[in-house]
Chain A
Amino acid sequence: MIHLSNVSRHFRRGPDVIKALDRVTLEIQAGRFVALMGPSGSGKSTLLNILSGIDRADEGEVEVAGQRLTGLSEDELAVWRARHVGLVFQFYNLMPVLSACENVELPLLLTDLSRPERRRRAELALEVVGLMRERFEHLPGALSGGEQQRVAIARAIVTDPDLIVADEPTGDLDARSADQVLALLSELNREFEKTIVLVTHDPRALRWVQAIYHLDKGSLLEGVEATRATQAVEQTLGVPPRSAAR
């Protein structure tokens, strides 16, 4: 599903060149629910952006859902994202002037679906994420954080994408809402076999994901380092140790 080979991404900040990603090689099978973890500035979000077609690698090869992303133009990437990727952000990023249902309908504007069909699919997606029907017409401002994140997840799945990427989806939620959102993502993975890549600092994610990839200073940790990082997270949660993805 996701193949990254020696991917590097550099940012220029004044005279300095910052290596956000340094020759990262990664393979994620379809239908997996994985987490990218690491300290701030480790390159998690950059990696997420590259594998979701939001950003482009300076070096290396990126292939996602059978599409080689390297070399695609900005507009070609946009079209590809609209078809293959569902995005969930930390701060939901719902349009405040649109109702919950209209927000979910938004990505469907890029399809050829009729207006009633778009509406039907948006309502279905909201039902899948468990938003109460009476909340469908509420503006985001009238919804709780957890509800807004459910709407954001519904927006991410409404186009039936191959890949769902979530950048800190629990970062702005209380513990209960965060658990519900993680459970929902896990359910989408299990029930609908969606490939989900989650960037998070939240150790609770460990309970739901099938694998964790640790990043530090732009590099993917492997072997003993990766195992230690995973164990550190498990200790935070007070659960028995298990192995990291690498």
Chain B
Amino acid sequence: MGYLTLVRRNLRRNRLRTALTAASITLSIFLVCAVLSLPSGFTAIHDRLAAGTRFLVHNKAGITYLMPYGSLQQIRAVPGGTAATSFSRFGGVYDEPKNLFPNFSVDAETVGDIWPDFQISPQAIADFRRYRDAALVGYQTMRTFHWKVGDRVTLRSTVWPVQLDFRIVGELPEPHGNPMWFLFSRTYLEEAVRAKGLSAEQAGMIWVRVADPADVPPVMRRIDDLFRNSDAETASETEKSFFESFMSSLSGLTNVILAVGFLVVVAVVFITANTCSMAIRERAAEIAMLKALGFRRSVILGLLLAETLALAIGGGAVGAFGAYGVLKLLAALGATGARPGLGPLSMFLVTPWHVVEGIGLSLLVGVVAGVFPSWGAARKPVAEALREVF
């Protein structure tokens, strides 16, 4: 028998209590590791989606405000731009209301020019131009709904009072294409809306492509200058800044989640400290006996602290590696499309460094929770400890 045996046996003394305490640490560290993956996940999404030679024009009042469709022609005429397309939200749902995903009407003839980095097949681009009801669909959405090229699908709009049938002519392929988008021709939408006595002569946003990243700022400036003091002033921003502003709207939420995760860890420190105090109090007679046998205060402190640290690190390691495994599994599931809605989760990965941070945090939990009750028990003079218990 050695000191480790003593620590191990003491941990097994009240198995339920040990298991529950370890489980609380496991869950808190799991949560912290999962939360730690959020910022890097958002960055990964952002880096993946943003291209340096593309920018976005939207109503200066905000992206929910529309612009006249005629603005597109004026923008195309601005020197420096190589291509431009309208990009309007359709808000279509497939089959059931829960099957909501990003779908947009675009100008069919320009798709290949605006998103060459998506590496859409030439055949798909040609078919997209040829058929008025053609659709190009992100690989993730294809998998989610088990669609394949050639399928016909119907989307019911939540923006317009129409329901449109589409033929899928191609995919926005992995890994370069947007995984979620569903793109279709604006003229097809315009016809359907006009049949209802309405007009869709508006654009939600306009994507513009330039030849060189260096051209982006001057062309953006020219476009905004062009519409200054008009009924629909524009605000141009790079694809990167657009996604950054979108992500920054989520950063507040991320901070709240991080704060909640931190508070959970603090709560777990208190729970663990309380458990340690209880365990030490219950064993006051044994601790007094160990001191009487000649165990020095440092050895007693080490033994008691080792129990708390073993519990914390054990629970923390399970939580950290659990988060690593679970998010990896979710990412794999999301990539296969087996679970609709898991798609973006493929970007949220717990890295090995997050695992190290999680285990480090559990070590801190163990030290903070264990040091005070352990030190209190260890420093008590042996005669006083014996008098209290006998």
- If A74-B382, A90-B390, A109-B3 touch, does A97 touch B296 (CB 8 Å cutoff)? no
Contact, CB under 8 Å: B390 / A78? no
Question: Is A110's CB under 8 angstroms from B9's CB?
Answer: no
Least CB distance, A206 to chain B, in whole angstroms: 24
> In the complex the two chains form, what is the Cα distance from A74 to B6 in whole Å?
23
A144 within 8 A of B: no
Q: Smallest CB–CB gap between A81 and chain B, Å?
A: 4
A89 in contact with B5 (CB, 8 Å): no
Q: Taking CB as reference atom, which chain B residue is nearest A11?
A: B387
A54 in contact with B382 given A93-B285, A93-B286, A93-B289 (CB within 8 Å): yes
A82 touches B294 (CB 8 A): yes
Known contacts A82-B293, A93-B286, A115-B2; is-contact A98 B386 (Cβ 8 Å)? no
B297 at the interface (CB under 8 A from A): yes
B8-36 contacts to A (CB < 8 Å) = 9-10, 12-13
CB distance from B303 to the nearest CB of A (A): 10
Q: Is the CB of B293 within 8 A of A98?
A: no
Q: A91 near B: Cβ within 8 Å?
A: yes
**A162 within 8 Å of B by Cβ?**
no
Nearest to A90 among chain B residues (CB) is B390
Instruction: Decide yes or no: A87 and B1 within 8 Å by CB, A54-B386, A93-B286, A97-B12 being known contacts.
Output: no
Closest Cβ neighbor of B1 among chain A residues: A102
- B59 shortest CB reach to chain A, Å: 72
B101 at the interface (CB under 8 A from A): no
What residues of A have a CB within 8 angstroms of the CB of B289 in the complex?
Answer: 87, 89, 93, 95
Q: How far is the CB of B293 from chain A (nearest CB, A)?
A: 5
Bound complex: CA A155 to CA B295 (Å): 14
Is A49 an interface residue, CB under 8 A from the partner?
A: yes
A118 proximal to B (CB < 8 A): yes
CB distance from B255 to the nearest CB of A (A): 45
Whether the pair A107, B294 counts as a contact (CB closer than 8 A) is yes
Task: For the complex, count residues of B whose C-beta is within 8 A of A.
Answer: 27
| A106 at the B interface (CB under 8 A) | yes
> Which chain A positions have C-beta within 8 A of B290?
106
Task: Find chain B residues with CB under 8 A from A56 CB.
Answer: 383
Contacts of A96 in B (CB 8 A): 13
Segment 42-91 of A: residues with Cβ below 8 Å from B: 49, 54-56, 74-75, 77-83, 85, 87, 89-91
Q: Does residue B292 face the partner (Cβ distance < 8 Å to A)?
A: yes
Contact across chains for B390 and A49 when beta carbons are under 8 A apart: no
Query: In the complex where A87-B292, A98-B1, A118-B1 touch, is A75 in contact with B390 (Cβ < 8 A)?
Result: no
CA distance A109 to B294 in the complex (A): 10
In the assembled complex, the CB of B68 is this many whole angstroms from the nearest CB of chain A, namely 80
Max chain A Cβ within 10 angstroms of own Cβ: one of B290, B294, B382: B294
Q: Within the complex, which residue of B2, B293, B297, B299 is in contact with A87, where a contact is CB–CB below 8 Å?
A: B293
Q: Which residues of A contact B297 (CB under 8 A)?
A: 74-75, 78
Residues of A within 8 A of B295 (CB): 78, 82, 110
Taking a contact as CB atoms under 8 Å apart, the answer to whether B2 and A75 are in contact is no
**B381 located at the interface, meaning its Cβ lies under 8 Å from any Cβ of chain A in the complex:** yes
* In the complex, B209 has a CB within 8 A of chain A: no
B291 touches A (CB below 8 Å)? yes
**What sequence of 0s and 1s flags, for each residue 173-204 of chain B, a beta carbon within 8 Å of any chain A beta carbon?**
00000000000000000000000000000000
Judge whether A147 is part of the interface by a CB distance below 8 angstroms: no
Report Cα–Cα, A78/B299, bound state, in Å: 11
Contact indicator A98/B382 (Cβ below 8 Å): no
Complex formed: what's the CA distance from A85 to B293 in Å?
A: 8
> Taking CB as reference atom, which chain A residue is nearest B288?
A93
Q: Are A81 and B6 in contact (CB under 8 A)?
A: no
Q: Which residue of B lies closest to A9 (CB)?
A: B383
Q: Kindly identify which residue among A74, A79, A105, A155 contacts B1, using a CB–CB cutoff of 8 Å.
A: A105
How far does the alpha carbon of A77 sit from the alpha carbon of B381 in the complex, in Å?
11
Residues of chain A contacted by B381 (CB below 8 angstroms): 74
Q: Report the bound CA distance from A87 to B293 in whole Å.
A: 7
- Cα A90 to Cα B289 with chains together (Å): 12
Check B13–A97 contact: CB distance below 8 A: yes
A213–B306 CA distance with the chains assembled, in angstroms: 44
Q: Is the CB of A81 within 8 A of B13?
A: no
Whether B9 lies near A49 (C-beta < 8 A) is no
Which residue in A49, A75, A89, A155 is a CB contact (below 8 Å) of B383? Answer: A49
CB-CB nearest 4 A-B residue pairs: A82-B294, A55-B383, A97-B9, A93-B289
Query: Can you list 21 residue pairs at the A/B interface with Cβ under 8 Å?
Result: A54-B386, A74-B297, A75-B297, A77-B382, A78-B294, A79-B296, A82-B295, A87-B289, A89-B289, A91-B285, A91-B390, A93-B289, A95-B9, A95-B286, A97-B12, A105-B1, A106-B293, A107-B293, A109-B3, A110-B295, A110-B299
